[in-house]
Structures are given as C-alpha cells and as structure tokens.
Structure 1
C-alpha cells in the first residue's frame, strides 16, 4: 500500500505545484502532503532531520543536501525558473520598469518596498541594489515581510510596492497586480530543482511524482502560474 508522498518545497513554487497536485492524485491514486517554507528554511529543516520524500528548492541547495546524504545522489532534476517582479495594489497607477533606468527610477520614487528578507528572492534583491549602486537610497525604504506574504503587503497598506517572485504576485490576484517583471538585462531568475530523499519509504511513488512534475505535459500550467521551463 502506498504511503502519502511528503513534498517539501519553496514558497515561490507553491502556487504552481498546488495547481498540479490534484491532476497527479487523480491520475495515480496516490496522495501528496505538501509543506512550504522559504528556500533557506527548507534546507535548514531537512538538515535538522525533517522527513520528506521530494524537495523543490534552489539547485545549489539540492546539491548541498546531496553532499550531506539527505538527498539521493543522482536524483536531482531541473524543475524550472521563476522571474522576479514588482507587485502593486490593484487600481494603483501604472508602473514602467521595462528598462534598467525606469526600474531604478521606480524604486527611488516608491515610498516603501516590501521584500522577503528571509528568502532567496530577498537576498537577491538586496545584492542587486548594491550592484546597481542605489542601496544607500533604496534600502531605508525596504519593509521586511515573511516569505509567502510579501506580495499581499501592498494590499494591506504595509508597502507601496513589493519585490517578489512572479508566481507569488500572480497568486495574490485580484487584489494585487503584476506591475512588471524585472528588466531583461538584469537576468533576474531564481532556479529550482527537485531532489529525492535518500531515506525513501516508497521509491516508486516518489519517482512517479518527480517525473510528473518535470514532464512537458504540465508546462502550460506551470507557465500560467509563472514558472518557466528552459
């Protein structure tokens, strides 16, 4: 008898993966239990002994977990990438961030900007401000918000804008809108990979879920939720 598959993943892929789970369960008769945290927390909790069958986090973190024996060697597969975007409250004035100069102007003009300080996206954004040379001007405006709640901060009057993966912005609609993606020149994507636990209870069930999540048959659903394949 198959046991419930334990899937532990990053918050940024939650909206996309949740859209796929019912299809997988209907097709296979298997059930999936899901848990979500920001990337660094997922890695830290697995290292501390958290049980899981499949994990979806940054590829480098899957590699680290493989090196420590938590993820089965050779099981890592590419899942997709998620672009960074700017969220605004529905009905707010249009925002032009199509070029790097326009993006910088928008950040400088905003009164407050929410970001996921404890997640991969927050670390990336903070480093990007340094790289663009606007950290001194923009960082005092930043509002640290827990991962998973960053996009919603703009409709809760916690911030004028929010910088967060596109998946989270699309999931917060209709109260929140995607004001725009980061300019193409900044190559602002967060990569995700799947790893299989080295301590599996049901290897066949885990394999089937991993293959389903990476199959081309679900590409359209993932794209609609903000996950890009490449």
Structure 2
C-alpha cells in the first residue's frame, strides 16, 4: 500500500524541506503530503485533532505534544536551526547591519518593516526592539504580515525591509535579497525538531522520513537554504 505520509511543519522550514522531499520520494517510492503553518498554529491544530504522521516545529512544542500524547515518546530528533535576517528588495542599496549600532540605525531609518506577527520570529523581534531601546521609533513603522508572506511583502513593495528567518528570505529570491543576518550579539536561532505522531497510520514510513530529514547526507542542501546543523563530531 502506497499511502501518503502527512507532514505538518512550520513555515520557516518549508523552503528547505520542500527541496528534500522529491529526493526522498524517488529513493523510497513513498509520497509526502505537506501542510505548513507558523509554529504556534501547528501545535494548536494538532492539539485540536489535526491528523499527521510527522511534525517539524520548535523542540519545546514537540515535547508538549509528547506530554499530551500526540507525539510518540522517544521519537523526537533535532532537525536544525535557522537564524534571523533582514530582507530587502533585490537591487536596493547595500545595508550596513554588521554591528548592533548599525542594525538599530537601519531599522530606525527604514520607512517600513514587515515582520511575522503570528510567528516565533515576530515575537523575538518585538522583544528585541524593546531591548535595544528603539521600540518607540520603530514600532509605528511595522507592517504585520501573515506567516510565509513576510519576505514576499518586500518584493511586492508592501514594506522597505522585512525581518524573518533566513530560509524565508532565500526562498523569496529573485525579487528579494538577503541584506544581511542579525549581528551575532542579537542573533536568535530558532531551533526545530521532528516528532512522529503517536497515531500515525504508517509509523514505519514516518520513521523513514524522519531519519532521512535528520541524516547528515542532506546537510549541504539544508545549509544552502538557511538551515544549520549542529553535529557533535563535525
């Protein structure tokens, strides 16, 4: 029987995972059906009864789903981490955001800044503005964007800049470019983990996909799309 593996994942990992699925399907003969939402929505929908075989979201959320019996205990594996970046329209002037001061100045100088209002990255960014002491200057210029549309808003002219996980910026090319990553002192890596449904209709197939996505063999493909791995013996 060749039924679909139902993969439910966070929007931030979508560009990277979509690059891997054809390779998995060709190698195994299995098919993968995908659904994407921002991290909190993925967790909420699974808690409400959404059917899935494999999930990729923040590790604490995977553990919450394990505790609630939605994800199989012992199935959690690390997927990778994604850093935050600044998106600008392709061909626009070069931004200096290499230091904390330059980063803050660029935000204060921008006419408008899109951010993922309902995602993990958006919450971090709002807190960062407060920490930098520039919230009063920047918040009036913020443009709330739905998950998956933040970087694209820059390409459409809906905002001058966007702050969003690097994966989403790279996926929005060629209309959008990665102006730069957050300075090291301000960088926040969003971690992602894989979990297998406790009620999977084909747990063995789900395990095959989990092992493939976590395999070192796909590290380079993920790196090119903004997902970093941390290997103990690398």
TM bin (shorter chain): over 0.9
Q: TM-score, with normalisation over the residues of structure 2?
A: 0.97
- Equivalent residue of 1:207, what SS? helix
Q: Which residue of 2 aligns with 1:97?
A: 97
Q: Compute the displacement of 1:133 (Å).
A: 1.4
Where does 1:104-123 land on structure 2 (aligned, <5 Å)? 104-123=104-123
Q: Compute the displacement of 1:135 (Å).
A: 1.1
Following the alignment from structure 1 to structure 2, what is the Cα–Cα distance between the partners of residues 202 and 215?
Answer: 20
Considering only aligned residues, what root-mean-square deviation do their CA atoms show, in Å? Answer: 0.7
Q: Compute the displacement of 1:168 (Å).
A: 0.4
Cα pair 2:84 2:187 within 8 Å, conserved? no
Following the alignment from structure 2 to structure 1, what is the Cα–Cα distance between the partners of residues 37 and 169?
Answer: 17
| Deviating 4+ runs (over 4 angstroms) | none
Following the alignment from structure 2 to structure 1, what is the Cα–Cα distance between the partners of residues 61 and 128?
Answer: 21
Following the alignment from structure 2 to structure 1, what is the Cα–Cα distance between the partners of residues 77 and 103?
Answer: 33
Following the alignment from structure 2 to structure 1, what is the Cα–Cα distance between the partners of residues 198 and 125?
Answer: 33
Q: Which residue of 2 aligns with 1:85?
A: 85
Q: Which runs of 5+ in 1 are unaligned?
A: none
Q: Compute the displacement of 1:187 (Å).
A: 3.0
Where does 1:131-150 land on structure 2 (aligned, <5 Å)? 131-150=131-150
Q: Which residue of 2 aligns with 1:18?
A: 18
CA deviations 1:18-50 (Å, max 9, x no partner) are 000000000000000000011111011001000
Cα pair 1:54 1:206 within 8 Å, conserved? yes
Cα pair 1:57 1:193 within 8 Å, conserved? yes
Following the alignment from structure 1 to structure 2, what is the Cα–Cα distance between the partners of residues 117 and 166?
Answer: 16
CA deviations 1:94-130 (Å, max 9, x no partner) are 0011111110010011010000001111111111111
- Equivalent residue of 1:128, what SS? helix
Q: TM-score, with normalisation over the residues of structure 1?
A: 0.99
- Equivalent residue of 1:5, what SS? strand
How many residues align structurally? 230
CA deviations 1:45-74 (Å, max 9, x no partner) are 001000000000001111111111111111
Where does 1:204-219 land on structure 2 (aligned, <5 Å)? 204-219=204-219
Cα pair 2:72 2:197 within 8 Å, conserved? yes
CA deviations 1:172-222 (Å, max 9, x no partner) are 001000000000111321110001101011111011000000000000000
Q: Which residue of 2 aligns with 1:221?
A: 221
Q: Which residue of 1 aligns with 2:39?
A: 39
Q: Which residue of 2 aligns with 1:162?
A: 162
Q: Compute the displacement of 1:2 (Å).
A: 3.6
Q: Which residue of 2 aligns with 1:56?
A: 56
Q: Which runs of 5+ in 2 are unaligned?
A: none
Cα pair 1:2 1:202 within 8 Å, conserved? no
